[in-house]
Structure formats: structure tokens, C-alpha cells
Amino acid sequence: MPAFEALADPTRRRIVEMLARGALSAGEITQRFAVSRSAVSQHLKILRDARLVSAHAMGQRRIYELDTSGLVELEEWLDRIGPVWQKRLEALERERHEMLTVQPSRWRAAHSEDR
Amino acid sequence: MPAFEALADPTRRRIVEMLARGALSAGEITQRFAVSRSAVSQHLKILRDARLVSAHAMGQRRIYELDTSGLVELEEWLDRIGPVWQKRLEALERERHEMLTVQPSRWRAAHSEDR
DNA sequence: AGTGTATTTTAGAATTGGCTTAATTAAGAT
DNA sequence: ATCTTAATTAAGCCAATTCTAAAATACACT
């Protein structure tokens, strides 16, 4: 599951966000960051391996664009977890049921912030 | 964006997948892994901080369940990138247009696998 | 109070991750 | 051919992660 590993880094997330607005060359990407070319290049390699971006040569520069395969992998994982809105409803309903059946004092004790 | 960092680890992803099927105590989660209790406990803390799971005490054990807040954050990020299926269409259409306008030999040269 | 069980926290070692500089590859331009 | 520009790869450094073992905390029971 390389997409999650790739997107764990904030710089790489920003690169993906940038490319979502349109293709850019490696140099153009670098300009928008405070880090060196090689750092960006290394990030791009990780994103390429995760199929989140793809590159093709145009003369001496490499044009990067979004590759949706990695994003699809992400969406599929989320789908496997299940519909989020449904789980939110379930949680609320569970809580409502507890509030109605358990004594308020006990309920607050069981749900007081953990740690 | 702590949800991405949290899900970068495969063990933590598996924990979230497990909890998507139903709540479990910390001990039950540990049993399903090869690592020590404390390792799992540390993972759970990271997942808690990312609001991907929540815990409440039940007697001497802590019951963990999915917390959708973290997942919502993830979905929102994906939405900001834009509809994936639409981008897939765009990419295909771009390619089709190039295939029709550029000479085949040049097209293959520009799109041959990089590196 | 003291004991057992469940879990977390702390401390330390081994691994991984991200950055920089320097060297390398590739494609024009002169 | 040589030089410049664009980008990647290699090597080394420091910071962050992840694990284990040990100590600490929390609850239940007698």
C-alpha cells in the first residue's frame, strides 16, 4: 500500500495537490518549495512508485502529472472501511440508546475523556 | 494532517480495518498481531490522536472502536484533489487527442516508459 | 491493604526517512 | 566536441519511527 506511505509526508501531499491543478515540470515544482532539487526529485520518485504521479520527457525536462491509479487505491481502501456517514449515524444511535438506558452519572463516567 | 501519517504504518492500517468490523479491547487487538502489547498500545495512541479510533473504559479494559472524524479528514483531502473518475477521463481524452494529432513514432518516443 | 489482570508509559536500541552536497546522466545550444 | 541546463542518483548525516523490556497506572476482587 505505497500510496499511504507516500502521502504521509506533507511535502509530497502538497506536490500532489499542485499537480491536481495541472501538469508541471520537475523544475517548476522545485521552485514552489524551499528544499533542494534533489530532495524534490526523491519525493517525485516515491510518488511515481506509488502511482500517484507519472512523468514523461519533453525535451530536457520532465513533465509531471497526476496519476489516478494511486488515488483509486486510496479510495478503495476507504470503501473497504465502509461508508463513513453510515458509521457516524451508527455511533450516534448507539450513544443515544445508551443515554436512554444507562443512568446519566454512570454514562458520564464511562465516557469521560480517556487517558 | 495526522490521519495520513497514522495510516502510513501497515499495522495501524490493519487495526483500523479490524475495528471497522466492530469494537475490540486493546488485548483482543494485540492477540491478532505478532508484536508486543506495548507496541500495539503505542499504535493505538497514534490512531487516537489522529481521531481514527476512540476508546472508552469498560471495567479494567479499554474498548476501542472506529472514530470517523479521521476518515472524514481523509475523504475531504481526496475531494480537494477532485473527482478521480473525471481525471481518468481527462487523461484518456488527452492521450486520444495526442494520438490523433502527433505522428505515431514521435508519440511512442514521448510516452515510452521513463527512467 | 494486597494480589492479579489489562493497559499504558518510559527508556533505550535498531531501523527508516528526509535533507544536503557532490557526482552522474541526458538533451539542447554554440 | 564542449558547454549549459534539467533532472536524477549516490553518499553521508541527523531526526523521527518502531520495536522490546521494564516500570508505572488503573481497576477488580478477596
Tell me the residues of chain A between 17 and 56 that have a Cβ less than 8 Å away from chain B. 17, 20, 55-56
Which of B26, B114, B44 has the alpha carbon at shortest distance from A44? B114
Question: Any chain B CB within 8 A of the CB of A61?
Answer: no
SS3 of B27, please?
A: helix
Contact call for B114 and A78, based on CB within 8 A: no
- Which strands sit side by side in the sheet containing A61-66, from one edge to the other? A24-25, A61-66, A53-58
* Pairing assessment for the beta strands A53-58 and B61-66 based on DSSP bridges: unpaired
pTM over 0.95: no
pLDDT at res. A106: 46
Q: What is the pLDDT of residues A20-58, one digit of tens each?
A: 999 999 999 999 999 999 999 999 999 999 999 999 999
| The three grid cell numbers given for residue B92, joined into one nine-digit string | 484518456
Are A51 and A69 in contact, with CB atoms under 8 Å apart? yes
Give strand letter and number of the nucleotide nearest B42 (CA to C1').
C8
Which of A95, A101, A23 has the alpha carbon at shortest distance from B94? A23
Q: What does the DSSP 8-state code read for residue A8?
A: T
CA/C1' separation A87–C25 (Å): 52
A51 to each of A62, A73, A93, B43, B106, how far by Cα in Å? Answer: 16, 9, 39, 27, 24
Q: Which H or E element spans position A28?
A: helix A26-31
Contact call for A13 and B5, based on CB within 8 A: no
Helices B84-101, B104-111: inter-axial angle, 10-degree rounding: 140
pLDDT at res. B105: 46
Share of chain A above pLDDT 70, in %: 79
The CA distance from A15 to A11, in Å, is: 6
Q: What is the pLDDT of residues A35-44, one digit of tens each?
A: 999 999 999 9
